[in-house]
Amino acid sequence: MNSLQQNQKNLKKKIRFLNMKAKFNDTKVTSVATFSYVESFKQIIGLPTILEKGVTYKKAANSTFNTAEIIEYMIDANILGFSRFMHIETLRNDEGYKKFKGVDKLPSEKVCRDLLKALPTETLEELRTINKKILDLKSSTEDVREVCINIDDTVITIFGNQEESGIGYNPRYNGRPSFKEKVGFISGTDELLNVTLENGRHHSNYKFLDFFKICVNQLPSRYILKRVRLDRGFFDEENFLYFEDNGIEYVVKCKMYSTVKMIIDFINNNSKDYIWHDISSTLSVTEITVPLPKWQRARRFVIIREKIIPKNMNQLMFEECKYKYQAIVTNIDYLTPEEIFQDYNQRCDVENNIDEIKEGYAFSENSLVNHKCNELYLLIKMIAYNIHNWFKQAIMPKEIQHHEISTLRRIFYRVCGNVCGSKYYRYLSFSNNCLLEKIITYIQKQINVFSRKMIAVYT
C-alpha cells in the first residue's frame, strides 16, 4: 500500500469517527443551564405575582397561556439574549429551560406577537407601574439615599415601515426614517426609570418635562432626588425654572448660542476680573453669573477652556484659534467650577447605559409595524433590564458586576449543562470550568442570604 492509499484510509477512519449518528431524545441538556439561579431570584421577589396583578388584560379562558406567563417568558428571553421574535423559538425548544419553569410547553413566536397586538393602550401605563414596583422592592433592601438622574436620547434607525417613525436628525443614516428613544437612568446604580418611543422628527426637548415627571414618579420613596444631569439638547429656561421652583439641582451642557459665545468673549476681554484656573495641562475653568437675553433669571455658567495642541509644532496658531470652549449652566452654588465640570462628566454613564440596552437588550430593534406593539415590547425589555440589573448587584460576585450583559451571557448564562436528578434531588452538571464554578458557588450562597432579606421585607 502506497502513501496515498494509506492517507485515504486514515481519512476514511477519521470521517467514520467524526461523522456520528445523531439522536434527539435527551431531555436533560440545556443551553441556558445557569438561568435556574435567575429563576430563583424572580421567585424570591415574587415577579409572577407582580405581573399577574399588574396587567389587567385577560386572555380567553381556554387559552394555553395567560397574559402574565407570556410577558414573563418574553422577559426571560430578553435577559438571555433571545430578543428577536424568531430567536424566541430557540428558547421555546430548550428542554432544560422547561424544567426550570416546570412546564411542558412554552409560548410560540406567534403567541407573543398576538399578545402585543391584543394588549390595550392602558397596558403601557401598567407596565411602567410594574417597573416601579420592582424598583420599590429593590429600594426596600437598601438604605435611604439621594440619587441623581441622567437623561438622554438616542436615534433608532428604521429599516422597514413602522408607524410614527419620521425623518429627523440621524448622525449615521442621514435621510432615513427613525425613532427617538428618550431614557432616564439613576446615576451609579443604573436603574432605568423610563423610556419612550418617539417620532424621529422630535427634538430632544420635545415634551421633556412630561418625561421627567414620569421619571420622578417612578422613583421609590426611599430614593430622594437630588440632581439631574442633561445634555445640550435639553438646554431650555423652562426646564431650569421647573427645577429651581421644585428644589432640584441641575447640571446642563449649554448650546453654543451666539449669546453664550458673547459671554465667553466678555470673559476673555476682562481677564483681570475673570481668572482661568488650570485643572490639567490642557483644561482650565472659570465662571460667571448672568442672564441670557429673554431669560427671567441670571444663572451660573461654568466655562471650560481646552487648549488646542497643534498637530505640527511649526504650525502657525492665531490667538483666537488656540482654544475650544464648552459651557455648563447650573443652580449649584456650593461646588467649585472644577467640581461642576467633574460632576457633569459623570453623565457619560448614561451613554454607556444606552449602549448596554441597545446592544444587550435590542432597544434599537423595533421590528413590529404597529407603534403600540413596539412600545409595549420596549417596556417589557425595560423590566427585563431592571430585573437583571438587580440580580447582578444583589447576587453576583462583585468582580463581574461591572460586566455588560453580552459578556455575562458568554461566561455565565449561555453555558450548556445537564439538568440531572428529579424533584429536590436535581442538580446541574457542567464540564470542568473553574470560573463558572467560582461564580455559581458564590451565587448559591447569596441567593440564600437574599431570600432571608426579602422574607424580612415582606413580613
The rounded distance, in Å, linking the Cα atoms of 285 and 275 is 8
Give the end of a domain, one of 265, 300, 331. Answer: 331
Residue 152 lies inside a defined structural domain of this protein: no
Does the pLDDT value for residue 320 go beyond 90? no
Q: How many C-beta atoms surround the C-beta of residue 12 within 10 A?
A: 10
Q: Is 57 helix (H, G, I), strand (E, B) or coil?
A: coil
Q: Is 215 inside any structural domain? A: no
Mean pLDDT of the region 411-421: 90
Mean pLDDT of 91-117: 92
β-pair partners for 307: 323
The per-residue pLDDT for 321 is 58
What's the order of all strands across the beta sheet hosting 417-420? 29-30, 417-420, 427-429
Is 239 inside a domain boundary? no
Residue 198 forms part of a structural domain = no
In a domain, 184, yes or no: no
Render pLDDT for 335-369 as a digit per residue (tens, 0 to 9): 999 999 999 999 988 989 999 999 999 898 887 88
Range of 287's domain?
250-331
**Residue 396 · residue 145 · CB < 8 Å:** no
Structure letter (DSSP) for residue 166: B
Which of 21-25, 98-102, 353-357 is least confident?
Answer: 21-25
pLDDT digits (tens, 9 = 90+) for 221-242: 999 999 999 999 999 999 999 9
Q: How far apart are CA 292 and CA 266, in angstroms?
A: 13
The total of other beta-carbon atoms located within 10 Å of residue 238's CB is: 9
Is residue 113 assigned to a domain? yes
Q: At what angle do helices 67-80 and 35-45 cross, to 10 degrees?
A: 140
Residue of higher predicted confidence among 366 and 397: 397
Number of H helices, E strands in the chain: 17, 12
Question: Are 111 and 41 found together in one domain?
Answer: yes
Q: Is residue 311 situated within a structural domain? A: yes
Q: Are 158 and 183 in contact (CB under 8 A)?
A: no
- Phi first, then psi, for residue 132 (nearest 5°) are -65, -40
Residue 47: its H or E element: helix 47-54
Of 276, 308, 331, the residue at which a domain comes to its end is: 331
**317 and 380 belong to one structural domain:** no
Q: Tell me, yes or no, whether 47 and 95 share the same domain.
A: yes
* Same domain, yes or no: 379 and 454: yes
Distance, CA of 93 to chain centre: 28
Is the model's pLDDT at 6 over the cut of 60? yes
Domain count within the chain: 2
Do 114 and 30 share a structural domain?
yes
Distance CA 29, CA 94 (A): 8
Residue 198 CA, chain-centre distance (Å), reads 17
Residue 39: C-alpha distances to residues 44, 46, 427, 447 (Å): 9, 10, 15, 11
Does one domain contain both 302 and 380?
Answer: no
- Is a pLDDT exceeding 70 seen at residue 308? yes
Can you tell me the mean pLDDT for 250-256? 96
Average pLDDT value for the chain: 91
Residues 25 and 113 reside in one and the same domain: yes
- Report which of 320, 328, 364, 360 is spatially closest to residue 344, judged by C-alpha positions: 328
pLDDT at 317 over 60: no
The CA distance from 101 to 203, in Å, is: 44
377 and 317 in a common domain: no
CA angle 356, 358, 361 (to 5 degrees): 80
Of the two residues 28 and 427, the one the predictor is more confident about is: 427
Residue 160 neighbours by CB distance under 10 Å: 10
Q: Which of 139-153, 185-199, 205-219, 268-282 has the lowest mean pLDDT?
A: 268-282
Whether the predicted pLDDT of 315 surpasses 60 = no
pTM, rounded to two decimals: 0.92
Is 84 part of any domain?
A: yes
Whether residue 382 is predicted with pLDDT greater than 70 in this model: the reply is: yes
SS3 per residue for 250-271: EEEECCCCHHHHHHHHHHHHCC
Q: Which of 304, 331, 358 is the last residue of a domain?
A: 331
Q: Where are the beta strands (DSSP E) in 297-426?
A: 299-307, 323-330, 417-420
The predicted structure's pLDDT at residue 237? 96
Query: Which pLDDT does position 312 carry in this prediction?
Result: 62
Give the pLDDT confidence of 116-175 residue by residue, as tens digits.
999 999 999 999 999 999 999 999 999 999 999 999 999 988 887 788 888 888 877 788
Question: 317 and 383: one domain?
Answer: no
